Chain A
């Protein structure tokens, strides 16, 4: 049997019309000016209206919609948190879009992560071995593993990673983008080390770095293995 309908989610790119004035005449004038510059561009495009001021005139949206249709644009919805505007939108037969989420967090600044979880002070300490298939994530802080990280295990920290046992799994430091994050290990023979997205596989790690205490750091977009850090 062939499908008749199918509902699917999709992310579309739409044009937003920001409104900074509650004077409908002024708004119409400005829109007209814009459209005259390139009439074909605006013909038939779907538009979401986002009023940045409160609209006192209860017919504002209805008038604006009418006007946009005249210019061959297709207003489909409104994005606003203002209940008054939402009422108008419903009346004008426009869809409601949720207000834009706050801008994605800037990833390289650890201060913001601290703000994110003020209660998580200090490092996450794991006292046992991290075994194959297990994952540990120290969100917004350092990670200290007193046991070993076995092959097939993954440890991730937004800060530094310290391993007191044998480090044989995958180790990610600065996972949220903190480029000054470091990995400290007394026996480093990992499947992978990664700092702020720069990674290196076991086979690309110099054998010398796998003996004794070593610090892994990110310098000029390259991972540097320093085994002389303790002098």
Chain B
């Protein structure tokens, strides 16, 4: 029994209660795939757990089991989607409305029925006004009509591409209960930390610094689910600790590369532990070099091309990511086949060519072999972004550019890059979220105010790219819109407002007893209704 291996007193107490109250022991003894407690590692404790407001992976990791979106990403569903709270969705020809048919017979965890009014409230009051992603996707949402309890019609003031809405469904449409939020200050509502949703698990307990506990929703709309009785998120902020906890069977699963990449080769040989690299296809992170175009040297395309030629993408993939990544060709990852094109200019690793380009640009090496100096700010969020920073410094030294590394904590890094513009080069890990319009075009678009995080704050202005982005935003026809984004990729790689280096998904490490991992391309942040434990 896994329960016996839990070390924390609080957990044991919870475990004892859980066992008394549930049928778990019987289910486990019968060796059925149903029941049991899954203990997983959590590396952060988000202050606000409401996924309708904070659409980020750290929040989804916990909240997606409790609060569901209208649709989830899928390996084999139509348009890469499978239904959740909506059973069907259809866009109008003129791009001014989208009609959702909602699932019937769904109840909230507090027993109230789920209706189209909840969807209308979430869309107009939360996604559009408060959510980091919804603010742009639903910017033109005017009203949501609810002709009956199972129909919601989204009406837009300007034509809005249905393709964009569809691609944003898994990440931007978490539905929250209107009856708990209406008439309150949504941003500070207590239900943001004690979640109430429609999902397969109920939010039961949170001990700061120790664990979150979710328990089975007996009244879940899918009667075959969930298979687990409980999910416990043990807070393990120390990344070195997750591997040891897995080996000691204190936890059964660590997602989001909580086990460092360098430890995977060793831990994959430990009996009873498996390393899984699938389940993150719709959560592709991109390793990019952000460029401050206000620096006169970097405003020169030849210098940017030289830097692109100086980066050995094979080294980055093989050594920094230990093979758990792919070299990027442009701003859209291969994992987004709907938009991806390989028909873009390429920059081979070629130090001689890089040096020649810099000579051509007029930046001759001085007596000490240096052409000019730069400030390089690697984002501190991942080991890999910091290691790439250290590598990039060496790669630049090889072409005579003296890069001085500046290390900051997250808050100081964001302020330096996105507000103060106090950088020359920065290393960033933006996420591709299923559609270029969600979080990718903002990386090169001009005219954004200072302070907008993860956006073009390098002072890059290109009328060509700006017009492609603006045109795509109002192109309803899916094929025409896709063609525009292929052109977008070509232009970005040709003009290098930023340099795409690599793209990666995360790694899950789990005990062999955990089954059905992964079952969709956003697995770690999906509802885990079909996840099971072998008895």
Q: Do A and B bind each other?
A: no
